Chains A and B, each alone.
Chain A
Amino acid sequence: MCRLAAITSKKYFSPIENILSIETMKEGYDGSGLGLTLKDLGGEFKDLKEYPVLSGICSKKGKEILDDYMYRIGFRLKYEWNPKIRPVKGIVTRDYYFAKAYEYPKSHRDQPINAKEDLLMNTRLSLRKIGESDESIFVFSFYPDVITIKEVGDPIQLADFFGLDRNGLKAKIIFAQGRQNTNYSIYLYACHPFFIQGYCSMTNGENTAFVPIREFLTSRGFPGYNGYNSDSEVFTHILHYTARQLGWPLTYYKDVITPLKVSEIETREDRDALRLIKHSLRPLCIDGPNVVIGFTPGGTCFMAHDSKKLRPGVVGGIKGKYALMSEECGLDTTIPKRDKSKDIFPMKYDMVIVEPQAEEVKVWNQQQGWTTIISSH
């Protein structure tokens, strides 16, 4: 089972914090992958917030193809970050790890955000297609103010490998996953977190409803719903589908993946809408065992479970810094000086929502509505 460590903070912090917290949950992963997604970037990217950042890995040949492709379609390189690799035994070093900030092509500079997002996603998908068969190009995200790093290996060794403790990479929201490979291959594209157009999520456990959900998503006619090297990628795409494509408030994500029973729906004020949603999105219902941790383009982080809470998670912290973890020991490592009595162990109907800058934590319950609001300590 994978281990998940998400931290959201008012101040910039280093991803090494996530790695150290993952390290304390070590018995839960096997080195089959580490994924890091950083949002609201600090350090070298602090002043590049409006420029989309392409994150990935290339071979030498792949780099040439990628640079040529990006240039041809009008992207102009603004800034490039490359980790200073320190070889570590057991980790196969690839040619070229990168995060490149680009200027939008002229044709898109004045376009609305949706059109820009579609351009970025389609570019990422094209690059993935070009480099997937010979593994010459891996691209994980292409979006303003977001960097994704993925590699196969032990997380703490990978931190050393990438020099995460010394290279100045910082952000206000960082998601990390230490992967335990189960029934899907060890493959970079199978590493969480998954990202699409500003929406990101990571999950532990397996998804028994994977195939019907995948079929539903891929048949929406949206080019970004592909990949699925891991059954958890669908959680990100369900989030994107409900929040961006359908334009529904975030809490309805919980109502889609774990719909209430008919009798429970009757107690809700929005029951007429819920009944329609339950029927219409029936194939997106999950059965777990999963805890899902995600963020939205606005920087809101959340945690939700399957309806039987087969993979419990925990949320805790102090004002200005909260962590959403799959295990409490990870939380203890990251934010040891907190009031543990206020840790939130979301129950099956709950969705914990941490607002940007970690100023406020709210628990939304499918039956009770907003139940807990913690805004100061």
Chain B
Amino acid sequence: MEPATRLDHNHQLSLKDFPYIIRWRDDRCKRCGNCTAVCPVKAIEPTVKVQRIVQSEGPVPTPSAVRRVVHVVEQVTDIERYCTGCGACTLVCPNEAIEPEYNPQNKFLHYKNRGGEGYKRGGRRNDPSVSTLDRLKFTRISMLTDPALDAGRHEFHVRTLLGRVLPPDELPLKSVNGKLVVDKGNGKFIPPVREIFPIMIGSMSVGALSPPMWEGLAMGVAYLNEIEGIPVVMCTGEGGVPPRLLKSKYLKYFIIQIASGYFGWDEIIHALPDMIEDPAAIEIKYGQGAKPGDGGLLMAQKVLKLIASIRGVPQFVDLASPPTHQTKYSIEEAVAKMIQSMSMAWGFRVPVYPKISGTKTARAVLNNLARNPYAAALSIDGEDGGTGAAYNVSMDKMGHPIASNIRECYLDLVKQGKQNELPLIAAGGIAKKGNLAANAAALIMLGASAVAVGKYIMQATANCFGDEYNRCNICNTGKCPRGITTQDPKLYRRLDPDKVAERVIEVFKSANVELKKIFAPMGRSTELPIGMSDGLSIDDKAMAERLEISYVC
């Protein structure tokens, strides 16, 4: 029979079951306690242990066993306090004595459902494989028969259009003395169109993001527009807009999102008379790539005073947006009405477009929008998109990859001759491996007019720890160790909004240069090469066939 002491450990997990194992070096540690203090999930703790060691101190070996009390740093085996691998401990350790190590044999998902509650997290799909976007190559290189352009010397126009574009045969033009003039008496509605940089910052709400993070992004965007002349726009996400921004001249750089919870919209509508600029656009969120079928969720611990006032809700309550718009009956009726209502609120001067999650049914949505003259675009968010909070199963298993979704939608528009009328915005997994410009250019050449990026922006501008191995990914808990997705002042004071803004500017300036470096050898400079699929290839025959591009090896 087993002794009782052994059986006592039977229901405990072993460190081998955990996704990250802390490697702590006794010989380097000076016991300062920084690591245990900084750990956002309390996965490590200082412990006192009794050690039995054999020592010999005399000129001749005289081994003797002694017992000593030692201080160690130990990883706990409580699944609720699992090490997320964020590495904040390594960051603060003065002696490089501690670091988490990924454990590929972990059985984390076998256990992370205590209390009958499925595992929830932030971040994006945990899939470290090479994405389709990263397999696409630019293979049509101009050289001698069609000279390559010079990215440093030639003039480039890396801009796209956001908004419904009238087909040429519907333009209200008439010829007067050899010149075309707009026929004002024609009565034709000319939809609003914005000329923007083709990479936009995707929807991340005030609330999901900490005040310094959101402020940093907003400052960076304003600087890019006002000083650098790069017209980057940013989507607010569902969570309202800071009141001062609503009434400022910078509102024109922001796309305001409305989603199923309508958070913040009472304040936005009331601010309408005081707005001195129109927003860049209105995005109606119907779905999100990271968690199709799930609504937005802001946990109670993140709903502090500022957030409550911007969103128009009480403090410290869970803010769940329903998975669908409760008023939604059909795309022909309710969606069309919502697009029209939003358009009407700004006197039809602002493009209004829906955002959906990547899906096999995207073309059905697209075809309805193609017939709606007020629909300004369609944004499709692929399965690799990020979120602040969702069920792991939604993030890892639900959704549709963006590449083929965008391609089939574009080709569908080509069939109808409407490829230039309804812009497609692609999102979800762009720059997953850091290749922002390349992924954006590939999607543009597959047919997207613009791309939206969220998670990469957090990583590149604020050093978010998240990766495809479930590192950190605790955005939902309000315990973000970088201060990006938290409303806790103790955590967000770690983040300097000026540094975030600086990084936003650096990211977009370099993306601007890299896009030119891609387009120049392909001989394109004056317009964005939307749908220039002859420039793309892939090293997989099935993918090439699906995307209707060439196969190379």
Contacts and interface: CB of A to CB of B under 8 A. Distances in A.
Interface of A: 1, 182-183, 205-212, 215-216, 219-221, 241, 245-249, 251-252, 258-259, 261-262, 269-270, 272-274, 276-277, 279-283, 285-289, 307-308, 310
A220 B421 CA distance: 13
Given A208-B523, A287-B525, A307-B526, A216 B532 contact: no
B367 to A, nearest CB: 15
A277 B178 contact: no
A246 B169 contact: yes
B142 A208 contact: yes
B181 A280 contact: no
B175 A276 contact: no
B395 to A, nearest CB: 35
Given A212-B530, A288-B523, 20 more contacts: A182-B146, A206-B523, A208-B146, A208-B524, A208-B532, A209-B524, A209-B527, A219-B414, A248-B180, A249-B175, A270-B180, A273-B173, A273-B181, A279-B193, A282-B420, A283-B527, A287-B523, A307-B526, A308-B154, A308-B155
Contact of A280 (B171, B416, B532): B171
B147 to A, nearest CB: 6
Interface stretch (B70-78, B159-167, B472-480): B159-167
Contact of A219 (B146, B161, B417, B525): B417
Interface in B381-428: 414-420
A259 B526 contact: yes
B47 to A, nearest CB: 65
A351 B147 CA distance: 22
Contact of A282 (B146, B171, B182, B527): B527
Contact of B173 (A221, A276, A310): A276
A287 B530 CA distance: 13
Contacts of A241: 168
Nearest to A220: B417
B524 A283 contact: no
Contacts of B175: 247-249
A280 B529 contact: no
B168 A212 contact: no
Contact of B145 (A183, A251, A282, A285): A183
B366 to A, nearest CB: 15
B524 A276 contact: no
B533 interface: yes
20 contacts: A1-B145, A182-B145, A183-B145, A206-B142, A208-B146, A208-B522, A211-B533, A212-B530, A212-B531, A219-B417, A245-B169, A273-B181, A274-B180, A277-B171, A279-B193, A282-B165, A283-B420, A287-B149, A287-B526, A308-B154
Nearest to B182: A272
Nearest to B190: A276
Q: Which 7 A-B pairs have the closest CB atoms?
A: A208-B523, A219-B417, A206-B146, A273-B180, A285-B527, A182-B145, A272-B182
B161 A279 contact: yes
B179 interface: yes
Contacts of A209: 524, 527, 529, 532
A207 B142 CA distance: 10
Interface of A is mostly: loop
Nearest to B191: A279
Interface string B121-145: 0000000000000000000101001
Interface string B244-267: 000000000000000000000000
Nearest to A257: B526
B80 interface: no
A270 B181 contact: yes
B534 A246 contact: no
A310 B136 CA distance: 29
A182 to B, nearest CB: 4
Contacts of A258: 526
Given A209-B532, A245-B169, A270 B419 contact: no
Contact of A287 (B161, B419, B524): B524
A246 B167 CA distance: 11
B157 interface: yes
B96 interface: no
Nearest to A242: B168
B195 interface: yes
Nearest to A250: B178
A249 B178 CA distance: 6
Contact of B414 (A1, A207, A215, A310): A215
Contacts of B530: 212, 282-283
A374 B121 CA distance: 74
Contacts of B195: 262
Nearest to A248: B180
Nearest to A1: B145
Contacts of A280: 165-168, 171, 420
Contact of A276 (B147, B149, B182): B182
A258 B155 CA distance: 13
Nearest to A306: B526
